[in-house]
Structure 1
Amino acid sequence: MAADVRSWWARRSLRLRLTAAAALVMAAGLAGAAFLLVAWLHASLINGLDQTVLQRAQVVAADEDSNRITAEVPATSHAEAAVQIVDSRGKVLASSANLRGRPRAFTFPASRSGTPRVHTVHDIPEHDYGTWRAVGIPAGTSHDPVTVYVALPTESVDRGLAQLTVALATGVPAVVALLTGMVWLFTGRALRPVDAMRAQTAEISASDLSRRLDVPPAKDALGRLATTFNDLLGRLDAATRRQRRFIADAAHELRSPLSTLHTRLEVADHHPESVHWPTLAPELLRETERLNHLVDDLLQLARLDARPRLRVRPVDLDEIVFTEVREARSRTRLVIDQHAVGAARLTGDEDALSRVVRNLLDNALRHAATRIDISLRMVHDTARLVVADDGPGIPEADRERVFGRFTRLDDARARDTGGSGLGLAIVRDLVTAHHGTIHVEDNRPGTRMVVLLPTRAP
């Protein structure tokens, strides 16, 4: 049952829930304040009545001490006051007019402390008042002691408090209802920008992420929310544009080897007598190898975009460099100098770091004129890997752009022999996944790719 109530409540609108919560808080606060007011006023009025009763008793006791008391105690400004003077044997010696001829009405003993105690008594005979505040104080002499009792009814206090309670019981709900209506209106006005943002968000489609939400002029939570939404839309727009550009570039890159394969196979199919297979087969194999490398790079980028978890463990980066250099030497006649490679142990994914070194060597092999130099050393807690070639180099204005996907600098890197334009993009993503950095420096001549990797992942 409780779960159903919570589920029903959770489905209500935010405006309704805020208004209901505010109404409950206001009702509880005003009811508590009303209760405290009534309690405080009751205590204050009773205390005043007690002071009056005590003063009247002291006056009567003073008259008794001066032997001015008669059988009937003189009336005071409090005509409803009930007064009796009782001797030590319990005999009524004198009383007020409203208790004339009545038996003893008060049975509690006289208070002999410095601050006499006031008692609450009920149903004094022959009186309609229900509750009285009464005090008894000693008087007379030591040989003839008496007790003076004085009581006043609490009817006036009770009547005033009853009227106040009725007024509060009527007024508090009315005030709560009025304030609840105001909260409903103000909450609706405060949430109006949220509804406007919701409507604007609903109009934004995946095909048009360039639209932005209107930011309220106030620098409050709603303004910050709208700004955050706009930042999110900006990132989504940029990511969508990159994805579309990546798909278009990938399709373009895949079309070239596929078209070449299709054309040559089609010619071979239609004119088999003119095909020289010893020449055609290696060309087709090169195209399929190029296609295979491209698909492999696309899959690698797709995995990186999906933010996979790296298989992190201690890795000897120098051993990875030696392994990749041996493999690269089997594919080229260029000089690859690895004498500057020192020991470097760090925490990372061995396969990913092998891919980083392999791609950097492949990039250097495509552009080097005569040699490639590799160095690796530790700088404090960072491994510094440098792959340098003596090729045409990269203009300073393009040194950041080369890490983009499908980027080729045809003029500066004219010796490109079929790279997909994805190798350095994969390197940057893998280095970034290891919380490292990569940048380009001038080698005079050629290019230096500098990778900085922390020995321990954050």
Structure 2
Amino acid sequence: MAAAVRSWWSRRSLRLRLTAAAALVMAAGLAGAAVLLVVWLHGSLIAGLDQTALQRAQVVAVDADSNQISAEVPATSHAEAAVQVVDGKGNVLASSANLRGLPRVFTFPASSSGTPRAHTVHDIPEHEHGTWRAVGVRAGTAGNPLTVYVALPTESVDHGLSQLTTGLATGVPAVVALLTGVVWLFTGRALRPVDAMRAQTAEITESDLGRRLDVPPADDALGRLATTFNDLLGRLDAATRRQRRFIADAAHELRSPLSTLHTRLEVADQHPESAHWQTIAPELLRETERLNRLVDDLLRLARLDARPRLRTRSVDLDEIVFAEVREARDRTGLVIDQHAVGAARVSGDEDALASVVRNLLDNALRHAATRIDVSLRTLHGTARLVVADDGPGIPGADRERVFDRFTRLDDARARDTGGSGLGLAIVRDIVTAHHGSTHIEDNRPGTRLIVVLPVEGRIARASR
């Protein structure tokens, strides 16, 4: 039952829930204040009644002490007061007119303190259904002790409190209803910018991510929410633009080898007598290899974008470097110097790190003039891998741009023999996933590509 109620309540509108919560708080607050007011007023009126009874008793006691009291105590402004003067044996010596001829009515002893305590009494003759507040004051002498009792009815207090309670019982719900209506109106007004943002957000489509929400002028939660939404839209817009540019660049890069393959095969098919397969076959193989590398790079980038979990374990980075250098030497006549490679153990994905070293070497092979120098050392809790070539180098203004996807400099495009412009982008993505960093320095001549990775035991702390 409780779960059903919570489920029903959670489906109500925010405006209704806020208004209902405010109404409950106001009702509880006003009801509590009304109860406190009635209790405080009742105590204050009763205290005033007790003080009046005490003052009247003290006046009568003074008269009794001076032997000026008669059998009937004269009435005062409180004509309804019930008064009895009782001697030590319990005999009534004097009384008010409303207790004339009656035996002792008050049975509680007089207080011995300076401020007598008032008592609540009932069943005083002729007022059986009323409640009285009575005090007893000592009078007379030691040889003839007297007690003066004075009681005043609480009817006026009860009647006034009854009227007040009735008024509060009627007024509090009316005030709560009025305030609830005001809260409903103001809540609707306060949530109007949220509804406007919802409507604007609903109009934004995937092809129109350049639009932004109107930010309220007030620097409040709604303003910060709108700013956060705009930041999110900005990131989505940038990501979508990158994705579209990536798809366009990928299509462009794929078109070239596919067009070459298609053209060569079409010519060979239409003119089989003039086709020199011994010449055509190696060219076609080179184009298919280029196409295969491009597809592999695209798949690798897609996996990195999906942020898969790395198969992290302890890896000897120097062994990966040695293995990739051996493989690179089989593909080139350039000198590849690995004497500066020292031991370095890192925590990471072995296949991904091998891809990093392979792409760094491939990039150096495409641009080196005569030699490539590879070094690896540990310093201050990091493994520093450097692949340097003696090629034309990279201008300082382009050293960050070359890590973007499908980015190749103009002279690199002229000399490129199969690069897709994805190798360094893959390097940076993999290194970043391993909590490392990449940058480029001048080699004079040539370029130094530098990768810095946390050594084993540091990557876990870096992830935290």
Q: Normalising by structure 2, what TM-score? A: 0.95
Aligned-partner Cα distance in 1 for 2:158–2:93: 32
Aligned-partner Cα distance in 2 for 1:414–1:277: 27
**Partner-residue secondary structure (3-state), 2:411:** coil
- Give 1:67-216 correspondences, 5 Å limit: 67-127=67-127, 130-216=130-216
Matched, 1:49 2:52: no
Aligned-partner Cα distance in 1 for 2:214–2:178: 33
How many residues align? The count is: 458
Aligned-partner Cα distance in 2 for 1:223–1:262: 57
Aligned-partner Cα distance in 1 for 2:225–2:347: 39
Q: Partner residue of 2:429?
A: 429
Q: Partner residue of 1:2?
A: 2
Matched, 1:273 2:278: no
Give the aligned residue type for 1:34.
Answer: A
Give the aligned residue type for 1:38.
Answer: V
Q: Partner residue of 1:27?
A: 27
Aligned-partner Cα distance in 2 for 1:118–1:30: 32
1:318: Cα distance to partner?
1.5
Give the aligned residue type for 1:167.
Answer: G
Give the aligned residue type for 2:254.
Answer: L
Aligned-partner Cα distance in 1 for 2:348–2:66: 108
Q: Partner residue of 1:253?
A: 253
Q: Check whether the contact 2:367–2:412 (CA below 8 A) recurs between aligned residues.
A: no
Q: Check whether the contact 1:410–1:416 (CA below 8 A) recurs between aligned residues.
A: no
Matched, 1:419 2:406: no
Per-residue CA deviations over 1:394-435 (Å, capped at 9, x if unaligned) read 122221111111111132563211111110110011111112
**Distance change (3 Å), C-alpha of 1:435 and 1:376:** same
Give the aligned residue type for 1:71.
Answer: A
Give the aligned residue type for 1:56.
Answer: R
Aligned-partner Cα distance in 1 for 2:92–2:58: 18
Per-residue CA deviations over 1:167-220 (Å, capped at 9, x if unaligned) read 222222222122112111111111111111111101000111011001111111
- Give 1:314-393 correspondences, 5 Å limit: 314-393=314-393
**Partner-residue secondary structure (3-state), 2:327:** helix
Give the aligned residue type for 1:220.
Answer: D
Aligned-partner Cα distance in 1 for 2:124–2:282: 126
Give the aligned residue type for 2:430.
Answer: L
Aligned-partner Cα distance in 2 for 1:288–1:123: 116
Q: Partner residue of 1:238?
A: 238
Matched, 1:219 2:216: no
Of the structure 1 ranges 302-311 and 282-291, higher mean CA displacement relative to structure 2 is found in 282-291
1:37: Cα distance to partner?
1.0
**Partner-residue secondary structure (3-state), 1:452:** strand
1:82: Cα distance to partner?
0.2
Aligned-partner Cα distance in 1 for 2:152–2:437: 92
Give the aligned residue type for 2:258.
Answer: L
Aligned-partner Cα distance in 1 for 2:211–2:193: 17
**Partner-residue secondary structure (3-state), 2:410:** coil
**Partner-residue secondary structure (3-state), 1:120:** strand
Q: Check whether the contact 1:394–1:412 (CA below 8 A) recurs between aligned residues.
A: no
Q: Check whether the contact 1:384–1:452 (CA below 8 A) recurs between aligned residues.
A: yes
Aligned-partner Cα distance in 1 for 2:114–2:308: 86
Q: Partner residue of 1:444?
A: 444
Of the structure 1 ranges 180-189 and 407-416, higher mean CA displacement relative to structure 2 is found in 407-416
1:109: Cα distance to partner?
2.1
Give the aligned residue type for 2:47.
Answer: N
1:131: Cα distance to partner?
0.7
Q: Check whether the contact 1:392–1:413 (CA below 8 A) recurs between aligned residues.
A: no
* Structure 2 portions without partners, runs of 5+: none
1:76: Cα distance to partner?
1.6
1:104: Cα distance to partner?
2.1
Aligned-partner Cα distance in 1 for 2:55–2:14: 61
Identity percentage of aligned residues: 85
Q: Check whether the contact 1:136–1:147 (CA below 8 A) recurs between aligned residues.
A: yes
**Distance change (3 Å), C-alpha of 1:129 and 1:150:** farther
**Partner-residue secondary structure (3-state), 2:298:** helix
Give the aligned residue type for 2:38.
Answer: V
1:313: Cα distance to partner?
2.2
Of the structure 1 ranges 314-323 and 30-39, higher mean CA displacement relative to structure 2 is found in 314-323
Aligned-partner Cα distance in 2 for 1:407–1:229: 31
Matched, 1:290 2:279: no
**Distance change (3 Å), C-alpha of 1:151 and 1:129:** farther
Aligned-partner Cα distance in 2 for 1:73–1:191: 73
* Structure 1 portions without partners, runs of 5+: none
Aligned-partner Cα distance in 2 for 1:413–1:372: 20
Of the structure 1 ranges 380-389 and 197-206, higher mean CA displacement relative to structure 2 is found in 380-389
Q: Normalising by structure 1, what TM-score? A: 0.96
Per-residue CA deviations over 1:11-37 (Å, capped at 9, x if unaligned) read 111111111111111111111111111
Aligned-partner Cα distance in 1 for 2:282–2:300: 27
Give the aligned residue type for 1:49.
Answer: L
- Give 1:401-412 correspondences, 5 Å limit: 401-412=401-412
Q: Check whether the contact 1:385–1:452 (CA below 8 A) recurs between aligned residues.
A: yes
Per-residue CA deviations over 1:231-289 (Å, capped at 9, x if unaligned) read 10010001001111111111121222222222323333333333333333222222221
Aligned-partner Cα distance in 1 for 2:94–2:343: 117
Aligned-partner Cα distance in 2 for 1:24–1:47: 34
Measured on the aligned residues, the alpha-carbon RMSD in Å equals 1.5
After the TM superposition, which segments of 4 or more aligned residues of structure 1 sit over 6 Å from their partners?
Answer: none
**Partner-residue secondary structure (3-state), 1:83:** strand
1:312: Cα distance to partner?
1.9
Per-residue CA deviations over 1:370-405 (Å, capped at 9, x if unaligned) read 000111122212222111111111122221111111
